[in-house]
Amino acid sequence: MEVLEIKGGNQLSGTIRISGAKNSSVALIPASILTDEEVTLTNVPEIKDTDSLTDILEFLGAGVNRSTESMVIKPGSIDNKCIPEEYAKKLRASYYFMGAMLGKYKHAELYFPGGCSIGERPINLHLKGFEALGATVTNDGNKYIVDAKDLIGADIYLDIASVGATINIMLAAVLAKGTTVIENAAKEPEIVDVAVLLQSMGANISGAGTSTISITGVDRLHGCFHEVIPDRIEAGTYIIIGALAGNYLKIDNVIPKHLEALISKLEDMGVELDVGDDYIIVNRPDAYGTINIKTLGYPGFPTDLQQPFSVLLTQASGTSKIVETIWENRFMHIPYLNKMGADIETGHMSCRIYGPTPLTGADVEATDLRAGAAMVAAGLIANGTTTISNINHILRGYENIVTKLSDVGADIKIKEIEEEKN
Ligand code: EPU
């Protein structure tokens, strides 16, 4: 079994270049099948989630030419067939093929998607949106069959501003007849990125990035070239790591506007940041003030940074509180932080962190992607060696994490160890 081994305590200096956004790429790749023409995506991160989507494209019969950070997709030869369970289960975002196939072929068959076990993760709002457009949804065991004679634009109100439902409805609506209006749409930058790709393909969309998105269907979409935006969560993770161990650590290729909630909280804690046009330089301060955070949809504090941020709060002098409002199981990393010496009490979707507490290396687990990022952050400041198991979760979402951190001075490596036999 592969584990990540980190010897903590090193200062980190130099530059970390941020990759293309995972949560954009995983929607842009399925979106590309809405045309028959060639779509070139650049700045696509080389991570397991984009590999899994490439496998699905190839299974469907698309031509895919992948080189470092770019993907040329030729969807002209796709067969509209059921995406099997072993493909769908590898990641949450396989469900974007539902909206894209429905939009293009008026028929989609897909098994229930996989992804991190951070909460219940229903897809009722996606399905409600498809139904509003005129599709029928049947659930055959673990498989969804979504079918429509015609897709007709509709007004769709989302009771929760869901990222996935907003994107999936956009994908289904771009080739529908008439106008679709999504009210209480999610406003995340990844939604804007998907809308920009669709517009480059010839779609008629306005309002992406606000809570009302309007889509007027067109007859066909064409090929295009699109550059994926930088990953704000990867950037945020390394900025937090810089706040813990940075000595002039530059996080390059970022859009600081996408990170305002994090920047504001770090400044409140006394972390020194130099925010440039497309970079942020971060230094570890002598001491950290306590703060409270509450996760919210964009532009609020992102749930995906809450777990790495909790590591920073273990070093603040006093009591800090985190309230998680999006996912009910996003504190699975806390027992491992406590094992490393933190003093954290968890409640229902909240935790109280008493600091500062020195951390000591231990054997821990990446229970999900961002929990894994938290374990890496903790390992980097712990005394001694931290060994993280279940690292597949981390490699699903962070491109070249070992190289990026080693290059700025971290002692981190992937190691093969023998699995314990019961
Ligand atoms: N929800 C429903 N019904 C639905 C859809 C969502 O009740 O049909 C609920 C969810 O259970 C959750 C809330 O609405 O409580 C928000 O879920 P959302 O649909 O916005 O999340 P998602 O699209 O499944 C994406 C990211 C997550 C990120 C969330 C919130 C991708 C592939 N995933 O998930 O990223 O946490 O938005 O910002 O884009 C991660 O990268 O680690 C990650 C989990």
Residue 304 alpha carbon to ligand 1 centre in Å: 10
Active-site pick, 82, 116, 224, 351: 116
Kindly tell me if the per-residue pLDDT of 132 is higher than 80: yes
* Atom 2, ligand 1: residue with shortest CA distance: 122
Is the distance from CB of 66 to CB of 51 less than 8 angstroms? no
The pLDDT confidence band at residue 90, using thresholds 50, 70 and 90, is confident
Q: For 151-179, how does the pLDDT look when each residue is reduced to its tens digit (9 = 90+)?
A: 999 999 999 999 999 999 999 999 999 99
Quick check: CB of 194 below 6 Å from ligand 1? Answer: no
Does residue 259 surpass a pLDDT of 90? yes
- Asked if 2-19+230-416 and 22-227 have one fold, the answer is yes
Whether the bond between 356 and the residue before it is cis, its omega within 30 degrees of 0, is yes
pLDDT in tens, 320-335: 999 999 999 999 999 9
Instruction: Write down the architecture of domain 2-19+230-416 according to CATH.
Output: Alpha-beta prism (3.65)
Residue 351 pLDDT > 70, yes or no?
A: yes
- How far apart CA 301 and CA 269 sit, in angstroms, is 15
- Average pLDDT in the 81-100 region? 90
| 3 state SS of 284 | coil
Q: Is 382 in the pocket of ligand 1 (CB under 6 A)?
A: no
- Please report the pLDDT score of residue 421 as a whole number: 62
Domain range 22-227, its CATH number among 3.40.50.620, 3.40.1080.10, 3.65.10.10, 2.40.33.20: 3.65.10.10
pLDDT tens-digit series, residues 176-208: 999 999 999 999 999 999 999 999 999 999 999
Res. 422 pLDDT band, cuts 50 70 90: low
Give me the mean pLDDT over the 129-150 stretch.
94
Residue with more model confidence, 69 or 147: 147
Instruction: Look at residue 115 in the predicted model and tell me its pLDDT.
Output: 67
Report the pLDDT value the prediction gives residue 175, as an integer from 0 to 100.
98
Q: How far is the CA of 54 from the centre of ligand 1 (A)?
A: 22
> What percentage of residues in the chain have a pLDDT greater than 90?
89
- Give the pLDDT mean for 251-267: 98
Q: Mean pLDDT in the chain?
A: 95
How far apart CA 109 and CA 100 sit, in angstroms, is 11
- pLDDT at residue number 69: 72
- Give me the pLDDT at residue 31, please: 98
Residue 116 annotated in active site: yes
Rounded Cα–Cα distance for residues 134 and 217 (Å) = 14
Ligand 1 binding pocket includes 167 (Cβ within 6 Å): no
Domain ranges of the chain: 2-19+230-416, 22-227
Task: Give the model's pLDDT for residue 182.
Answer: 98
Average pLDDT over residues 247-263: 98
- Nearest residue (by CA) to ligand 1, atom 6, is 162
Q: Is 120 in the pocket of ligand 1 (CB under 6 A)?
A: yes
**pLDDT > 70 fraction of the chain, expressed in percent and rounded:** 98
Cα separations (Å) of 391 from 120, 373, 410? 22, 10, 17
300 close to ligand 1 (CB < 6 Angstrom)? no
Q: State in Å: Cα 382 to ligand 1 middle.
A: 31
Alpha carbon dihedral 162, 167, 173, 179, in 10-degree steps, equals 60
With a cut of 90, say whether residue 141 has pLDDT above it.
Answer: no
pLDDT, tens digit (0-9, with 9 covering 90-100), for 32-88: 999 999 999 999 999 999 999 999 999 999 999 998 878 999 999 899 999 888 888
- Count of beta carbons in the 10 Å neighbourhood of residue 269: 19
User: 160 CA distance to ligand 1 centroid (A)?
Assistant: 10
Q: Using the atom order of ligand 1, give the atom closest to the CA of residue 93.
A: 32
What pLDDT shows up at residue 350?
97
Instruction: Please give the distance, rounded to the nearest whole angstrom, from the Cα atom of residue 127 to the centre of ligand 1.
Output: 15
The pLDDT value recorded for residue 120 is 72
Residue 119 has pLDDT above 70, yes or no: no
For the segment 286-295, the average pLDDT, to the nearest whole number, is 97
Provide the angle, in degrees to the nearest 10, between the axes of the packed helices 232-245 and 260-269.
10
| DSSP one-letter string for 225-268 | EEEPPB-HHHHHHHHHHHHHHEEEEEEES--GGGGHHHHHHHHH
Contact 86, 76 (CB under 8 A): no
Instruction: From the CA of 124, give the closest atom in ligand 1.
Output: 8
Q: What is the pLDDT of residue 116?
A: 66
Nearest CA to ligand 1 atom 28: 304
Query: Which residue among 52, 170, 306, 326 is best mutated to probe the pocket of ligand 1, counting the most ligand atoms within 8 A of its Cβ?
Result: 326
Distance (Å) from CA 73 to ligand 1 centroid: 26
Q: Is 162 in the pocket of ligand 1 (CB under 6 A)?
A: yes
* Residue 391 confidence (pLDDT) above 70: yes
One-character DSSP codes across 314-344: TTBSEEEEEE--S-TTTTTTHHHHHHTT-EE
Q: Residues with Cβ < 8 Å from 348, sequence gap 6 or more?
A: none
